[in-house]
Chains A and B, each alone.
Chain A
Amino acid sequence: MSYQLYRNTTLGNTLQESIDEMIQYGQITPALGMKILLQFDKSVNNSLATRVKSKITFKAGKMDTYRFCDNVWTFMLSDVEFKETQEMAKVEKLKIVACDGKSVTDENSKKN
């Protein structure tokens, strides 16, 4: 089973909404909807691990708090600067959830 944490991304959320809608209209069964979501988890984990080549760096002004529980690191950062070769983005608050990459796929992070 792959990590389900990418369901909370924009892509995952919209997929979930569409599936819910289709189930409501009776176009697909709930079981099929579940299967789609599981496939989504698998594909996202797989493609992030194998197909993403671009690199991005970021630097935080301060780490407010951290937590390590059940092999998941959680970091709350503030004043974060993301840097790609030319582009730059600033975020006031950032939460990083990092899972163990070895067991399933690569390490992953998500932005709130």
Chain B
Amino acid sequence: MTPVIKIINKNNLNISPLNLNENMIYFNNDFHGQEPTIPIQGCLNVNISNVSASFNVKSHLNLRHLALHGHNVEYRREKAKLIMKLRKPSTTANIWSSGKIVCIGSASENDSKIASKRIARIIQRLGYAEAKFSGYKIVNVLGSCSLPFYIRIIQFSEKYKSDSQYEPELHPGVTYKIKEIKATLKIYSTGSITVNAPSEEKVKLAIEHIYPLVLPFGRNKILDDKCLVGVTGGINYREQNTRILQSTSHLPVLYHSPVGELIKNWQLNTFVPTVDKNHDILLNYTA
């Protein structure tokens, strides 16, 4: 059973994480012979939090000139670089006098390209008509994802010794490397995974790769918490909209979300969603 993985970018939150059935997977809570619990519906949303890219304007730049005439710039003479920030898309560009530029902090590959082109255009307008936009390359993409179960990372790191590194005194998570796609994953006991990879696609591949490997080491959050956790939404979704409340049948969850959509897409028959006056959705477990 592989999860359907969906990439969500910081700035298009309006896409409901509960969108379609294809984004949902079942977790058979048969982890290590623990007593079987309720199936949870969930989807894995991979959140891209940082994209760094580099390019070249093929022209020597007078950083002082750019600093005096540009907007939102910091000229760090001691580091011999100029820092230029864009408000939209929010990005920081490091500019060196050789014409090399590194753009960091974008929320997606697309944003990163737009931001880089914008920086190049700004430089062109500041008196470097010969400036080009060349050698654009995405250097690194940072994504994160939260699995709906805890992970026994000690056992995990022992099983995959050659690829993983776990030094609790240095870092609380396991560092797992996938050499084929040059991805580095940090796996935490809470079920959070962060991925460093050379592209968005590879972040996705890395999550797809790691999911079946960590699944056997999952520890059910429900059993531990005695409460159903809002796993249906992704990370963003949970931060922004989900509220967990207790209700009559002691297991249910309360989701706060655009009401119509949620009910429309709700598939599990064992849950009976009801809407209360605050537009929260109450899930009663009736199996």
Q: Does A50 contact B (CB under 8 A)?
A: no
A48-66 contacts to B, CB under 8 A, are 65-66
> Is residue B68 within 8 Å, beta carbon to beta carbon, of the partner chain?
yes
A56-94 contact mask (Cβ, 8 Å, vs B): 1 or 0? 000000000111111000000000000000000000000
B75 on interface, CB distance cutoff 8 Å? yes
For the complex of A and B, list the 5 residue pairs with the smallest distance between their C-beta atoms, beginning with the closest.
A69-B67, A68-B74, A65-B71, A69-B75, A65-B72
Contacts of A68 in B (CB 8 A): 67, 73-76
Chain B positions within 8 Å of A, measured between CB atoms, are: 64, 67-68, 70-77
CB contacts (< 8 Å) of A65 on chain B: these are 71-72
CA distance A70 to B74 in the complex (A): 9
The interface residues of chain B lying within 8 Å CB-to-CB of A67 are: 67-68, 70-74
Provide the bound-state CA to CA distance between A18 and B77, in Å: 39
Chain B residues contacting A69 (CB-CB under 8 Å) are 64, 67-68, 73, 75
Instruction: Give CA–CA (A65, B72) in the complex, Å.
Output: 5
Bound together, the chains give a CA A65 to CA B64 distance in angstroms of 17
Instruction: Kindly state the separation between the CA atoms of A66 and B85 in the bound complex, as whole angstroms.
Output: 10
A90 to chain B minimum Cβ distance, whole angstroms, is 24
Give Cα distance in the complex from A70 to B72, angstroms: 15
> Smallest distance from the beta carbon of A16 to chain B beta carbons, Å?
25
B212 to chain A, nearest CB (A): 49
10 contacts between A and B (CB under 8 A): A66-B73, A66-B74, A67-B68, A67-B72, A67-B73, A69-B67, A69-B73, A69-B75, A70-B64, A70-B75
CB distance from B201 to the nearest CB of A (A): 36
Nearest-neighbor residue (CB-CB) of B65 within chain A? A69
**C-alpha gap A68/B71 in the complex (Å):** 10
In the bound assembly, the distance between CA atoms of A68 and B72 in angstroms comes to 8
Nearest-neighbour CB distance to chain B for A64, whole angstroms, equals: 8
Q: For the complex, what is the distance from the CA of A24 to the CA of B74, rounded to whole Å?
A: 43
Taking A66-B74, A68-B75 as known contacts, 19 extra A-B pairs with beta carbons closer than 8 A to each other, sorted by chain A number, are: A65-B71, A65-B72, A66-B73, A67-B67, A67-B68, A67-B71, A67-B72, A67-B74, A68-B67, A68-B73, A68-B74, A68-B76, A69-B64, A69-B67, A69-B68, A69-B73, A69-B75, A70-B64, A70-B77
A41 to chain B, nearest CB (A): 23
**Contact in complex: A66, B68 (CB < 8 Å):** no
**Bound CA–CA A66/B72 (angstroms):** 5
Which A residues lie within 8 Å of B68 (CB)? 67, 69
